[in-house]
Amino acid sequence: MVLILFSAVLTALAMPGMLWGYLIWVALIPFFIAMKEVTPLKGALRAFVWGLVYLLITHYWELPVLAVNVPEVLNSFPNFIGIVVYFLMGPVIAIPFLAFGFVYGLYQRFFDRYPVLLGLFAASFFTVVEYLREIGPLGFTNGRLSDALLNGQQGISQLLAFGGPLLLVFIIVFVNHYLSHLYLERTRDRAVLIIVSVALIALVNSIMSSFIPIPHSSNKYESTIYALQTNISMQMKYYQPPEETLRIVSRALREIPEGSLVVLPEATFMSDIRSSSTGSQLEEIARERDLKILVGFPTYNDYNFNQVRLVNSEGFSEEFYAKVQLTPFVEFLPWPRVFGVFSFLKFLDYFDPGEEYTIFSVDEHRIGAQICFDSLYSNVARRLTQNGANVIVTATNDGWFDISTALQQHLSKSIARAIENRRYVIQVSNSGISAVIDPYGRIVKRLPSSKELSAEYVIGEFQYLPRVTTTPYTRFGNWFFWFSLLLGIALIILGGVVL
């Protein structure tokens, strides 16, 4: 079990905002050594413990959110309950790894004499399990092995445009599994094996990075979006009238050139402002300065939506984008009969999931907007791109997070979405991080977070090039899941019948 725990720690330390992304190429070696010749039940237990520990460490920033920030703002549960919820979260998101450990323990004996085939088998079923982690009402994709590559491995990350995160997960698991075989085969110079392997992978990444096009453009073809990053505390959002937020927003809007397109964060206002004096004043500012403002606020009609919509000289638009991937327990309650006891975790309100992947056409812009943790799920940005978006906007409220690791992990998801679809992605966040990312995952410009600059707001002038190309991933989505599933089944048949 020591090897399992060691592997879990190394895996977590490879994640964005942690220690070093290259650790991911060796982090699973202790895991696969510990999984050698295990029974199915023991394999399931070890894989579950590994997943539990690495995911809890990866999401350590959730602990102060649940145990301090949320109780202080919402006053809906005591601090110790937040600690309990954090440690209950781990088993829920680690459950899929039980399946991998069981299947691996059941069939690895088929490939005892064929390390490459065993590595392919392990990689294929790990990839299948990773796909299962994102589906259903409790699906959650943060902390994927592929996320580690977004932490300084830009070259290899370009494979996202071909096969998405699952392709990278497959490669990472296969490399780790084969290295574990080589490690056990050697009785000396094992440290040299690890160092040389990481160095070779770094070389491959460097070579692949050299093929990334150098950004070049003429101002003639560039479009501009202004990001208005508010730095509003959650206490103010929940307990001050919307006029206080409007005071900050209106002052910032008057600094932005007339005729501009402006994007504000998710839930800039915490109530439906369309028929209020706040909404009327925002409309007036848009008319006076000919601004087009994409702003987030909830709406309550036949359905409750966490949404964004445009405000311009004609008022509020009829079209809107409503968040598709709602956050479990916070924005909706999955299986109320089972999890009804956790209703106290509700933030502003329970929402209905959006069903439309709306494209906002504003002058030359065709904007696909996603909200907050929508960016954790590849399918949202992919569907927006398929619908004609030439730039993706992520509007989010990361004001709950005091630890920069959370902000870096969230931004890394926008980096992944940019590469997958070869689109510029502009993230606009309350408190930060707000940035513009090019289609190859490079951060072109980044605004200081509220921790880095004490100001009520920060304005960013973000240029981007509208894109219309279609990547294999945009066109075919998670095709690599089906490849991995079929490969795994084929290897089981091969191992049981032929080998």
Contact 416, 441 (CB under 8 A): yes
Contact 44, 379 (CB under 8 A): no
pLDDT at 385: 98
Strands 359-362 and 365-371: antiparallel
pLDDT digits (tens, 9 = 90+) for 194-249: 999 999 999 999 999 999 998 766 566 689 999 999 999 999 999 999 999 999 99
Q: Is 356 a catalytic residue?
A: no
> Rounded distance, CA 61 to CA 130, Å?
22
Q: H-helix or E-strand containing 359?
A: strand 359-362
Q: Is 413 a catalytic residue?
A: no
Strand partners, 426: 393, 436
Residue identified by tokens 């030439």 is: 390
> Rounded distance, CA 331 to CA 349, Å?
6
pLDDT at 245: 95
pLDDT at 396: 97
Residues of the chain with pLDDT under 70: 216-221, 496-499
Q: In what order do the strands lie in the sheet with 315-322?
A: 315-322, 304-312, 292-300, 261-263, 223-230, 457-464
Domains in the chain with CATH codes: 2-212+478-497 (no CATH), 223-465 (3.60.110.10)
* Catalytic residue chosen out of the listed positions 266, 283, 331, 420: 266
CA 69 to chain centre: 21
Contact 464, 439 (CB under 8 A): no
The beta strand positions in 162-314, using DSSP E, are 223-230, 261-263, 292-300, 304-312
* Catalytic residue chosen out of the listed positions 237, 372, 413, 420: 372
**Measured at the alpha carbon of residue 438, what is the angle toward residues 437 and 441, in degrees to the nearest 5?**
75
Where b means 16+ CB within 10 Å and e means fewer, 38-54 reads beeeebbbbbbbbbbbb
CB contact set of 350 (below 8 Å; sequence gap of 6+): 304, 331, 332, 333
Q: Is the peptide bond before 433 cis (omega within 30 degrees of 0)?
A: yes
> Rounded distance, CA 30 to CA 306, Å?
43
Contact 414, 437 (CB under 8 A): yes
* Catalytic residue chosen out of the listed positions 237, 292, 323, 413: 323
pLDDT at 338: 81
Amino acid at 389: A
pLDDT digits (tens, 9 = 90+) for 392-428: 999 999 999 999 999 999 999 999 999 999 999 999 9
Instruction: Indicate the SS3 state at residue 401.
Output: coil
> Rounded distance, CA 381 to CA 385, Å?
6
> Rounded distance, CA 224 to CA 260, Å?
8
Q: Is 451 a catalytic residue?
A: no
Contact 447, 458 (CB under 8 A): yes
